[in-house]
Amino acid sequence: MSPRETRSGRASEAFFGRRKGKPLRSGQTEALASGLGTLGLDLSGPAPDDLRRLFSAEVTRLRLEIGFGGGEHLLHEAATHPDTGFIGVEPFVNGMAKMTAALERQPLANIRLFNDDATLLLDWLPAASLDGIDLFYPDPWPKKRHWKRRFVNAANLDRFARVLKPGGRFRFASDIDTYVNWTLLHCRAHGAFEWQAGEADWHTPYEGWPGTRYEAKAVREGRPPAYLTFRRA
């Protein structure tokens, strides 16, 4: 059964909201179709045992960014670390269109893309295949009745633990205090993740952090971000 066919049975795992925003311009539509045709991952077959084969660049490390939004961080990291292969997940069509347009202007051979539910990709990836997972400013689903839709939960931490190599890093950033506390509590309860609290003040951005437009807005509105790092035990 293909990932698309299993989607109906995974409705409770819809961690994102709307799929589309403003109508795309013709150039964006063309870049999206072309970019996904070239860089999009096809989950209909098994994943390669060695994920480095997914990239035309020679890479030695592999990282996943879930929900890259406008792509500021992912593009910066991929350009800064050409020896690392990056898989970017973004189900929001407008964000993916912006990413594919940027890659059309400045191609990067160490990026692959997936435009659907990240849990499908996590279940497709081989065990112990990733060096890092980034989850930055995910939808906080602030209403209590929606907390079950927060991406950080026991089931997804199981997924992270399966695909991360021992010593691999899970990084989480948010400007929502309740979601930061939620993540700390869930990672502590899970047992496979050690919070690296001693590495840096958790309100200090990661080394080389380029910032994002969403983050700048949060700071302007008086919501200081937190930057958490967990190590796969």
> Which residues make up each annotated binding site for S-adenosyl-L-methionine?
65, 90, 117, 139
Q: How many CB atoms lie within 10 A of CB 136?
A: 23
Nearest to 65 by CA among 47, 80, 78: 78
Nearest to 69 by CA among 50, 104, 93: 93
Q: Is 139 a catalytic residue?
A: yes
State the binding site for substrate. 143, 175, 212-215
DSSP-assigned states of every residue in 56-103:
SS--SEEEEEE--TTSHHHHHHHHH-TTEEEEEE---HHHHHHHHHHH
* Integer Cα distance of 132 and 163 in angstroms: 9
- Contact status, residue 97 vs residue 24, Cβ threshold 8 Å: yes
Q: Which of 42, 83, 116, 139 is catalytic?
A: 139
State the binding site. 65, 90, 117, 139, 143, 175, 212-215
Active site residues: 139
